[in-house]
Every structure is written in C-alpha cells, then in structure tokens.
Structure 1
Amino acid sequence: MFPEIPLAQQILLACKAKNIQHIVLSPGSRNAPLTIGFASDSFFSCYSIVDERCAGFFALGIAQQLRQPVAVVCTSGSALLNYYPAVSEAYYSHIPLIVISADRPISKIDIGDGQTIHQRNALSSHTAYNTNLSENECDSSYNEYLLNEALNTASIKSLPVHINAPFEEPLYKTINTPTVTFTNNNGVSNEPLLNNDFINQFIKNWIFPKKMVLIGVLPPNSIAQKWIDFLKNDPSVLVLTENTANLVEESFIDMIDTFLTPIEKRNLQELLQPDVLISVGGMVISKKIKEFLRKYPPKVHYYIDEHVGYDTFFSLTHHFKTDINTFLSKVTEELPPITFSYKEIWLSLYKEILKKRNNYLENIPFSDMKVYEAIFSHIPTPYHIQISNSAAIRYAQLFHSKAGWQIFCNRGTSGIDGSTSTAIGASIVQELPTLLITGDLSFFYNSNALWCNYIPKNFKIILINNSGGGIFRILPTDKETPFFETFQETVHNLTAKHLCAMFGFTYLSAENTEEISSLLESFFYKKETPCLLEIFTPRKLNDTVLKNYFNTLV
C-alpha cells in the first residue's frame, strides 16, 4: 500500500533505495502519507515514539550502534523543533540522523493556518544538508535530485540532514502501485588525500622524545591490535584514554584526572609537557587535560580522525582526515626508533598514584563515589553501557573499564536531555544487554523515554539519586547563596518508583553499601522485565568525598 501523494511515494522509494530501514515515527496528520507508506512496507522497521524529543534521541541511539542512517518522521509545526537537541548531538557526534518533516504547502504559511511555523531550513545550523521538496508533481526529477543529495550526504559525511516535505490534503488516500519512480544515485565518496608535506613533517617530528597520544570518543574495536601494540611498545609514547575510547590496555593511562592532579600539585607540568600531541577520536571529557595542554601546549599537534580535527588546545598543526589504522600503516615504517623513556617515567608515577587512590577508596563513607566503585566492580562482561552526562560520566572516569565493555555517552553536546532515550534506542539493535547509568536530573528530565513499547527485557537502569544536580556542589560556586539550592542544584524529593510501576519496570532501591552489594549480585541477571535500581546518596556529603579524593592523591 502506497500513499496517493506522489511526493510521499518518492520519499519512501528513496529511503528504500538507500537501504534506510529503521524509521522512527511520531503521530500526526500531516505526516500520515509517510506513516502509512513506511508502516505498510515490511522492508522498514518502524517504531512509534510519541514525544518527538525522545524520538530524536531514540533514533540517534539506533544510528549510534549501527553506524548507519536512521530516519525520524514528524508532522508539521512545533513537532520538528523538538528534534533539535538530538540533531545537534548527532551533528557533533557524527551520527547520520535523517529528519523528515511533513509541512503545509508554502501558500499556507503565515496566513493564520493551524500548526504552521517556518520549517524550511529550521535546523540548518546543525545539519550537513537541508532541502525543501516541491509539492508540484512536475518537479519530480528535481525532488529526486534533492533526495539523492540529502541521503548521500548523511551516509558519506555521517552527519544529520533535514528533508522538509509539503503535503496538501487529502492525506490519507492510498493506492496499490506507486505512480512515480526513483533513480538511485549513490554519489561519489572521495577518499581524502593525505598531504605528503605534512606526512613527511610528521615523520621528522617523531624524533622528539616526548609524544602524547590522547584518545577521545571511539566505537569499540576502532584501533587494530597491531597499532595498539605499536603504541604501547614505543617508550617515547604516552597514551591517555577515557572509558568512552573503548580501549583497555594496562600500559595506557585510563584515568586522566586522577593522573593529572598530583602532577599539578607537585609542579611537574613542564616535565610532562609533550613535544608532539596526537589526538584520535571525538570529544574528550577531562577538563584537566584541556587546561593542562592549553597552558603547556605541545610543539606540534596532529589530529587523526575521519571526520573531526578540533583545535581544542589552540595548537593544531594539521588534521589528517583518515582513521588511525590507515594513517599508522602509511607512516610507521618511516618512523625512527626512539629510546627515551617518556612513558615509563609517568607510568611509574601513575602506579604510585593508584596505590593512594585504592587506599582512599577502601575507607570512604557511603556516597556517590562509593556507589560508582560498587557499580564498576559488579558490571559483568561483556556488556553494553550507556552513561548520562554531567556527574555520571565524570565519576565514570575515576574507575577502570574492563575488556568486553562497550561504553557510550552523548558527548557531542554533553547535554543531559536525551540519555535515556538514546540508551533505549541503542539497546534494541544491540546483541549485548544494555545498562544505563544515570543521575537523577537527567533521568527525570527524559522520563518520557520510558513511554516506549520496544524496551528489551534485559534493559537495566542504575539511577543515582542525590536529590538534585550534585555536580553543582562540586563546581567552584558559592553554595551558601539563597538561590543555590533552588535554581542551580534544584533540590527535589522525587523517586522513580511510580514511573517504574506505570511503565512496567521492576523497581529496586538501596540506601547503603550493604544493600547495593546485595542487590547488584542479582540485578544484572534479572530477565523477566526491564529493571531499575535507584540508589539514594547523601546530597551534602558527596562533594566532600570527591574533593578529599583528589587531595589524597598528592
């Protein structure tokens, strides 16, 4: 069954030709021709998500895991604007999200007609391609060109695009056979050329004795073992990672803030200052490494990534627009051997720091930090882990990852707005069971995410509820001002218990270390229904425990 409207047919045929199978639909009348067409064709996997903000992040989670374009489809009016948080996250995380918005014909805009806004180019600041299709059947060939351009851009650039489609009533009529065709043009994906001058200079600069490799967000298994071995066996290379790099190697420093704190206190920054900095992957979470490398910049900074080349430290020399495996395979045979033990000096200090860290953790009271220690010691392997932003992802950087974990976080814009929806979307295309670790503000802000019929039975949430925005107690701010608790920390007494009852989650709760340890033993193996463990922590103690942690490392 096809919609009678030719433009709607053309969009359906275009998505099918481009093998875009996952379609997230939100209810509405103006997008009914598309909804009817997508839902009637078994080629497509369709999902109904009522809240467009949740729908955007749900689709983003699917695309994040598949690394393939996923479409979201909405009706006209303000519905489209609710996609914007997810679109901006997709833009900075390089996730191919395809926004298809139904619109009124242009003649109905700004005349007082209902459910109309300026939809044309509404997302243009955070999309790689915007197109406004024509409702006139005589423009079919031009629409075909625009659809090819939009969908090819999403695939080739791995970025979000926006397709705005005006439909005139009647909207619900159907036919058995399409009246239009679609000719697929896949476009040309040009392999970026590596500049030989910069490659030669990179090889010359390898003679510098102090080289730091900083690895940001990467999907699992992004770096081949051959090149991991190359990096770990070079004594002049110090590798810093975060758990969102999905790379576990004991000779790499994996807790950057824990490592840098004593270096700052002992005034060792100039000794650590690298000659050469090599950035790999996406966003870096650590504020300390950003502050350090801005104050003690490298002589040269190379960024190696297919998409991004951020000048985060204001010292970027060149962006090699390729993946790290391709790059190292091209240059390693030309690199001179270096014997300076830059790495061993700092690994030796790191081992000392970790001893102090472990001693401190053994004696801390029940708090956020104690909870994260328990969580990270109990998560099985293998496991797919999604972590919300703000305090959750920052606490996560204070603990080791395990081989077999896959860790994701919406670090493109670092917002708290869609972490739960992203995790649920990711879970439906993941073979591994999924755990979301989240703070209370992020969870309640995105609670509509649970209004979803597709949540797997093995989906888990651990909610750390410290009754407010705990990160604001950690930040350098005056907590004694009369407005702090109301307008920054946003203190509350909410609990997830009733949400779990409404949405069919098994609900568990804990308020001390003993209860957590007991519950976590069985929590990961409950398979009857999705399960949420809410852990209540002391709001006014958490920041003290964390600050004392860093003071103890010196």
Structure 2
Amino acid sequence: MNMGEQTYFVSNFIDELYQNGLQHVVISPGSRSTPLAMTFSEHPSIQEWVHFDERSSAFFALGIAKRTQKPVALVCTSGTATANYYPAIVEAYYSRVPLIVLTADRPHELRDNGAPQAIDQIKMYGDYTKYFHEMAIPENTDQMKRYARRQASRAYSVSSDHNQGPVQLNFPMRDPLIPDLSLPNLWGSCEPSHVNFITGREQLPDEAVNDVLNQLKGLGRGVIVCGELKSENERELVLELAEKWEIPVLADVLSNLRQTAGVHSYIIPTYDAILKQPEIRESLEVDFIVRFGPMPVSKPYLQWITKQQPSVHIVVDENQGHREPTSIDTTMVYSEPAAFLKQLIQSEKPDLDSDWQRFWLNNDEIAQSILREAKDELTEGSAVLSVSEESKEGQVIFVGSSMPIRDMDTFFLNENRKVEVMANRGANGIDGVISTAIGVSATGVPVTLILGDVTFLHDYTALFIARQYQLPIRVIVLNNNGGGIFSFLPQYQEKKHFEALFGTPFNPPVKQMVEALGFDYVAPETVESFKEAYQKPIDGQDVIEVVTERDHNMKWHKDLWQRIYENLDREGLL
C-alpha cells in the first residue's frame, strides 16, 4: 500500500466529519493511529487536543461534548489503549453524550496470531455504543472515498440525533502508517456530504395528551420534578408551566432551575432537605408527579415516592428509555420535553390543594433560612454554600459524585441565572471527574470543580491537560481523608472493617501534588478565608483544599437536618 491510498481515504473521512459539524478531536499518542492523528492535526478547522492518558482523554472529550452538546472525536492506537476508553463510554451512554470513538487496529492478517498490541476490538464496547462499524482497509478509489464519507456522516448523525450517545468505528491500518500530507486537494478529493440526515422530533398526538391530563382530574397534591435539563428552552417552558398551574417544582441542582427561584416562587430548591427525615416521607402524601429529565440526585425523594406510591406518576423521556428505578406504576411519555411542555401549557390546569401549595412554599422559605445560616465553621456543607453564594455570572460549577453532589443538592441556593451546574450522573462514578471538568473548561468558560479527596486521587493526571493548554479551572478538594459518604451508610456500623474497606484514609499530600504541577494552592481554615480565596478571578489553575474530619462532618449534617425538621410547618398536611 502506498501512502496516498491511506491518506486520501482518511482525509475524506475526517473532512466529512467536519462537514457534518465536528469541531474537536482528542488524540492520545500511538503508532497504529498515526494516519488518523496526523491527518486530523492537519485539518485547518478542527481543534485538536492531545493527552497521554486514554482514560483521561475520553472523559476530557466527554466534558467538551457535554457542554457543547455536539459530538467530539476520540483517536487512540490499538490494544489496551482502546480499553481505557471504556469508563467514559459507559458514562456517555447513560448520560446521553455524543462521542465518535475512532480506534486504530491491526489489519486482519495480524489479528489473533500473537502480533503485538493486537486485541479483539470488534464491538469492544458492546451495548454501550449506539453504532459500530469495522472500516474497510483504506483504498484510494472514488468509491472507497465515498464509502469513507458515508460512514463519517452516519457516525456523526447517529451520535448526535435526539438520542445522543457514543459510536465506535474501528480502523484497521497497514504499513506504511505515515500519511502524505503534501498530496493535492487533500480535503476535497471527493465531493462532500454524500449522505445527509434529517432527524424528526417525538411529539404526542393531542388525544394522547388528553389521556394524560385526564389522569390528573380530581388530584390536588401534585408536583413537577426536574432532574438534569439540557436546554434553556426546556427550563423556560417548565417555569411557564409552573406559573400557569401554580404547582411546586422540585428542582434538582442539575436542572439549573434554582437560579430562577428569586423570580419564580414555585421553584423548590430545598425539597431534599425537607424530605430528609423519615417522618416527613411517611406522612406527606402525594397524588401525582410529572417528571422531566433523569431521576434526581436526592435519595430522600426516591424513598418518598417509593413509600407514597402516587396515583399518577408520569415520566417524560424523548429517547424512549426507561429511566424509572422505583418500580411504581408509571406512564412513560415518549415525547420531546419542550413539545410536551407546550401542550401542557395550552391545557386546562389541575385544581391543586391550596394547603399543598402552601406547605411547599412555606417550608422552602424555612429550610432556606436555616441552610443559609450554616456558616459558623468551615465544613464541606458551608464551603458548598459559600460557592453557591459567591459564584458569579458566566461560571460553570462541575461537581464530583458521592458527598459533593449531595451537598450541592442541599446547599446550592444561587439565584444568578448565568451560573451553570454540571456533573457526571449517567453512571455516577468517581473516575474521570477532573478530566470531564477540564473538558468543559476547554469550551471557553471558567470552571469551578468541587470534589472529594478520593475522586481527586482517581484522576490526578488530568491536571496535566489544564497545565498544558492553560485552561482556567479552580479545583476545590473537600478532603475528609477517605470515603466520607460511607459514614452516612450502614457500612459505618461495621467498625471492624470500616476504615480499611470503606473509610480508606490515604492522607493525600494535596499541596505537594498540585504545586508540583505549578498550580496555586491555598488551604483556608474559616468560612471568611474560604470566601476570600474563592472570590479571586479564575484566570489560571488553582486548588483550594478544605480539610475536614469525617465523623464531625456527619454529625454537622445530621444536626442541620434535624434543625430543619423541627422548624417545618406541618399544618394541614402531616
């Protein structure tokens, strides 16, 4: 094979991705992927990012795609490099984020016979990709160049349609691997865009909407629940529906609806705190729930609806999934959320119980007042509360799993509409969190990342990306020396095994680790000094470490929840 055979084949594939809208590619170094890597690098209009760690690279690409809601390409060499993509692909699948995974491979004659760096890469990610294709060995013919463009266009379309997700194309490559980038007409050697895809949107017919609304007749205790919402249009329509129906909206922190609570009174950001105590969950009856987005972060909410078994439970999902883990009777509405919201807005509103409305509005005010006063000492919760209060317009806050996302769900009470909260809640893992947040920063926004010390250790090498490309990020490490969330779980009672198996104290030297990479570092000891550090502009890379003690952190949280419970207004409902 001469270099031109491979070069034109690959250049047409890459240019077709660009013609469809691809803007970013994330490349990890390797030999077998040379034709893809060098040709991508040569394209004048695709931004390339290079990182040595494939696992981190994949999460970094996930962050870019998550923020832009457009596919990002990944390129790696053959062998175990491809396996390192797996965790991010699982997250992308469950969180519905578009990735185009391009895995280089040995040609067929070098497979399954002991050749180095050759593993089975066919459908490597199984059901976690929406589409797989084994590319043909490159040839420089018009038919094969059209084939390359067709596959590129199909991969982009499948990844980015309304049911977004990852796709994999496996590229067998023969020597010579170095492309001839001096060839004429590199990007236009075949007419572009051989296959165009036009995707429709799901919308219920009017009679189906009427069937849904009929279920709500005579039911006075209802709520709208919002998990992660991906578009501003959806958020605006939820607000419009809430005002028309005069219905409480239990707003998960990732819905990014809380930032409107100062203007829209029906937004309830403190529902998780209100539902913390079992006595409330057991006695607060609910008739109907209409949910948009995936299941919220809040475990008390999940326990509440499982206990109460509402008469009508409606889950709206445009992607025909089944994101409903409670096993209660549910009507799954397969419709684009914005379209369904418009239909509900045009309908007659339910007749809600005025005591029900008053319960949520009054108790949200009570809970907010108590939460906002939780600043007597620097704790994990008061640090998150300070971030909530001090974040400025245009910031993105990315949150790690375990305790940080739960504290964010409790304490994020910011009313600035231009502050956006993000997290990896597809598979809810702690790996790749730093990489994803830095990927978000690569889209051109300053990012504050809040995470625990174990999550920090999992993805420390990702900090090299921020340093290499000088991306603006502030990392807040809530360091309780181990897995703080387990102190709230039954495992905490198993004293013989708890510290070794769950607490896992590693004493990470955060200061030395980040200063070795040139990051600025500070470890405030009071709420005031924390706020002072946080208020500084995010114009480089810095780390704020908040050191806490796990048992004290648990007691602090439980005392706060009890104080909210004791002050709730129960009149007429409990």
TM-score, L = length of structure 1: 0.91
The answer to whether the 8 A contact 2:24-2:72 is kept is yes
Shift of 1:31: 0.4
Deviation string 1:317-368 (CA, Å, 9 cap, x unpaired) is 4333334332122233332452532322332233344445456x255x5432
Distance 1:377 1:193, change over 3 A: closer
Shift of 1:277: 1.4
Deviation string 1:407-435 (CA, Å, 9 cap, x unpaired) is 000001111101111111101213x4211
Distance 1:277 1:462, change over 3 A: same
5 Å-filtered alignment, 1:305-344, equals 305-307=317-319, 308-315=321-328, 317-336=330-349, 338=351, 340-341=353-354, 342-344=356-358
Shift of 1:32: 0.4
The answer to whether the 8 A contact 2:229-2:235 is kept is no
Matched residues in 2 for 1:126 and 1:226: separation?
31
- Pairwise CA RMSD: 2.4
Residue 523 of structure 2 corresponds to which residue in structure 1? 509
The answer to whether the 8 A contact 1:23-1:47 is kept is yes
Q: Which amino acid aligns with 1:68?
A: K
Matched residues in 1 for 2:149 and 2:375: separation?
64
**SS of equivalent to 1:194:** coil
Distance 1:368 1:191, change over 3 A: closer
Residue 252 of structure 2 corresponds to which residue in structure 1? 242
Counterpart selection for 1:210 from 221, 227, 239: 221
The answer to whether the 8 A contact 1:241-1:252 is kept is yes
Q: Which amino acid aligns with 2:71?
A: P
Counterpart selection for 2:204 from 194, 217, 229: 194
Shift of 1:256: 2.6
Matched residues in 2 for 1:180 and 1:419: separation?
41
Residue 571 of structure 2 corresponds to which residue in structure 1? none
Residue 569 of structure 2 corresponds to which residue in structure 1? none
Deviation string 1:469-517 (CA, Å, 9 cap, x unpaired) is 111112122455333212211101112222222322111112x21xx52
5 Å-filtered alignment, 1:32-431, equals 32-135=34-137, 137=139, 140=144, 142-156=147-161, 157-174=163-180, 175-177=182-184, 178=186, 183-207=193-217, 208-219=219-230, 221-223=232-234, 225=236, 227-235=238-246, 237-248=247-258, 249=261, 250-262=265-277, 264-266=278-280, 269-273=282-286, 275-307=287-319, 308-315=321-328, 317-336=330-349, 338=351, 340-341=353-354, 342-357=356-371, 361=374, 365-399=377-411, 400-403=413-416, 404-430=418-444
The answer to whether the 8 A contact 1:227-1:328 is kept is yes
Shift of 1:536: 1.1
Matched residues in 1 for 2:493 and 2:160: separation?
47
Distance 1:111 1:219, change over 3 A: same
The answer to whether the 8 A contact 2:441-2:471 is kept is no
Shift of 1:371: 2.8
Q: Which amino acid aligns with 1:542?
A: N
Matched residues in 1 for 2:237 and 2:206: separation?
24
Q: Which amino acid aligns with 2:363?
A: L
Distance 1:536 1:331, change over 3 A: closer
Shift of 1:265: 1.9
Matched residues in 2 for 1:253 and 1:384: separation?
21
Shift of 1:83: 0.8
Matched residues in 2 for 1:288 and 1:415: separation?
20
Distance 1:327 1:36, change over 3 A: same
Residue 556 of structure 2 corresponds to which residue in structure 1? 545
Matched residues in 2 for 1:147 and 1:159: separation?
15
Matched residues in 2 for 1:183 and 1:528: separation?
40
Shift of 1:180: 5.7
**SS of equivalent to 2:551:** coil
**SS of equivalent to 2:136:** coil
Counterpart selection for 1:494 from 490, 508, 515: 508
Q: Does 1:434 align with 2:447?
A: yes
Structure 1 unaligned blocks of 5 or more: none
**SS of equivalent to 2:84:** helix
Matched residues in 2 for 1:75 and 1:231: separation?
51
The answer to whether the 8 A contact 1:505-1:531 is kept is yes
The answer to whether the 8 A contact 2:12-2:149 is kept is yes
Matched residues in 2 for 1:45 and 1:121: separation?
27
**SS of equivalent to 1:423:** helix
Q: Does 1:518 align with 2:538?
A: no
Shift of 1:161: 0.5
Shift of 1:385: 0.7
The answer to whether the 8 A contact 2:135-2:170 is kept is yes
Distance 1:461 1:326, change over 3 A: same
Residue 14 of structure 1 corresponds to which residue in structure 2? 16
Deviation string 1:277-303 (CA, Å, 9 cap, x unpaired) is 111013411111111112212222222
**SS of equivalent to 1:189:** coil
The answer to whether the 8 A contact 1:60-1:97 is kept is yes
**SS of equivalent to 1:272:** coil
Q: Which amino acid aligns with 1:291?
A: Q
**SS of equivalent to 1:315:** coil
Residue 459 of structure 1 corresponds to which residue in structure 2? 473
The answer to whether the 8 A contact 1:31-1:75 is kept is yes
**SS of equivalent to 1:46:** strand
The answer to whether the 8 A contact 1:506-1:531 is kept is yes
Matched residues in 2 for 1:528 and 1:239: separation?
36
**SS of equivalent to 1:134:** coil
Matched residues in 2 for 1:184 and 1:255: separation?
52
Matched residues in 2 for 1:260 and 1:106: separation?
58
**SS of equivalent to 1:118:** coil
Shift of 1:89: 0.8
Q: Which amino acid aligns with 1:350?
A: D
Distance 1:521 1:357, change over 3 A: closer
Q: Does 1:533 align with 2:544?
A: yes
**SS of equivalent to 2:450:** strand
The worse-fitting range, judged by mean Cα deviation, of 484-493 and 174-183 is 174-183
TM-score, L = length of structure 2: 0.88
Q: Percent identity?
A: 28
Shift of 1:391: 0.8
Q: Which amino acid aligns with 1:150?
A: A
Structure 2 unaligned blocks of 5 or more: 566-574
**SS of equivalent to 1:416:** coil
Q: Which amino acid aligns with 2:198?
A: V
Residue 570 of structure 2 corresponds to which residue in structure 1? none
Distance 1:520 1:340, change over 3 A: closer
The answer to whether the 8 A contact 1:206-1:335 is kept is no
Q: Does 1:448 align with 2:476?
A: no
The answer to whether the 8 A contact 2:383-2:530 is kept is no
Q: Which amino acid aligns with 1:94?
A: R
**SS of equivalent to 1:534:** strand
The worse-fitting range, judged by mean Cα deviation, of 411-420 and 397-406 is 397-406
Q: Which amino acid aligns with 2:331?
A: H
